[in-house]
Structure 1
Amino acid sequence: MAAIDVVTGDITRVDADVIVNAANSSLLGGGGVDGAIHRGGGPAILAECRLLRETTLPSGLETGAAVATTAGALPARWVIHTVGPVFSDRDDRSELLAACYRRSLRLADALGARSIAFPLISGGAYGWPLDDAVHQQVRAVKDSNCAVELVTLVAFSPDVADRTRRALI
């Protein structure tokens, strides 16, 4: 199992081989983490995302799937884009949320990455309750069997970082 670190801050400044983008299905940028990664990485990320849309992903990226691009001007080598599910009181979408983490880790392995940084997927605009989003994140990362040596969980606030550290115990 990889070592797991928890930090509070801006994922675009984390020193890791891979930064995970909580993307929207269009892959063409958006708000929150997605917008920050596209702004920080510059036009190279958007160019690769457009190419993916023109070739292998004409309908966009499915929820729970993951795809890699360059990281452009970011300190990472790659960005792995994954689309988290929107929370629903009626449907249990927790498997899709866990798949975001598992598939991102598998893709990082395939790329030969030694370190990866994750935001809290679906824990913002997609409305996932914070405690459960943290639980799903920690469980998926702990349960994954990968060669990545360091997983950094990047919390957007000290409160979320504290919740994440408690969930790791």
Structure 2
Amino acid sequence: MLHRGQESTDGSGGGELAVPMAWMYAEYIADELLRTGDLMPPTSFEFRAGRDALALTIFLSDSDRELSGIRVVTQLETWLSLTAYDQPWQDWVSERLADLSALSAESGHPDPDLELAEAAWRWLEETELLAPDLDAVPGGAAAAGEDERPKVWTPAWQLGLPLGHLAIHLF
């Protein structure tokens, strides 16, 4: 979102429009990783869940907001570890967003990057997608066709996170 009266991207202020460059760059990297992996159609909700989960991981792990093409390559291992199955990713996201929100409140200036990150997190938490039930009876899914597998409503982040993790692996 663009807001009047906030600092510009160079921090000079003066009533210029604030552009959420850090969020947009994180979202761009996430989009490219998922498109390269070719795991889902880019128009699907699953793709959006993967992109938003990856963008949050990228944005929140870059505490200096200094993402660059060179740093992206060095960050892949960090992103892999943050998105791994056994990690409390959702707790990490909530804590990092709360920390950034507190910093933004202290500064007295709304942060357009943070606003977009929080909106993505709300969508990932509040949206449920119909997905195969991975906890169904073992062997039952092998006998059933793709459309016959049991399905359950799953929070979007729970689908997006493994997609993002796999996309990083495939990169």
TM-score by length of 1: 0.27
| Greater fraction of residues in helix | 2
TM-score by length of 2: 0.27
